[in-house]
Amino acid sequence: NAGVTQTPKFRVLKTGQSMTLLCAQDMNHEYMYWYRQDPGMGLRLIHYSVGEGTTAKGEVPDGYNVSRLKKQNFLLGLESAAPSQTSVYFCASSYWTSGGQETQYFGPGTRLLVL
């Protein structure tokens, strides 16, 4: 299993440009998440999904949109990038075990620089 993968690893955008970050998981997990990590801060939740075709807002959703058309993929879109969106973006996926335990598995991150 590849686990959680993210594409691209690094990207530079100009202000106002759009882009989509792709997260893919091959563990058949129901739940998927997008976080951002800024210097001196922990990860903050942007959006999440509890299943195919469903999405929900997290702590810092403004300026982002997401889609989950397939169970294994969770896309994060920036329609009009701003310098404040310069960050490292992490995707995670998770599941419930029979014991009711949930563990989130993280991708390697995408570093985004908006000029």
Partner 1 sequence: AQTVTQSQPEMSVQEAETVTLSCTYDTSENNYYLFWYKQPPSRQMILVIRQEAYKQQNATENRFSVNFQKAAKSFSLKISDSQLGDTAMYFCAFMILTGTASKLTFGTGTRLQVTL
Contact footprint for partner 1 (CB under 8 A) = 30-31, 33, 35, 40-45, 48-50, 56, 58-59, 88, 90, 92, 94, 100-106, 108-109, 111
Write out the two tokens for 24: 């893919």
Please name which of 24, 34, 23, 50 lies closest in space to residue 85, comparing C-alpha atoms: 34
Please name which of 41, 39, 26 lies closest in space to residue 91, comparing C-alpha atoms: 26
In the bound state with partner 1, the residue whose beta carbon lies nearer, of 33 and 64, is: 33
Minimum distance from CB of 33 to partner 1 (Å)? 7
In the bound state with partner 1, the residue whose beta carbon lies nearer, of 14 and 98, is: 98
Identity of residue 42: G
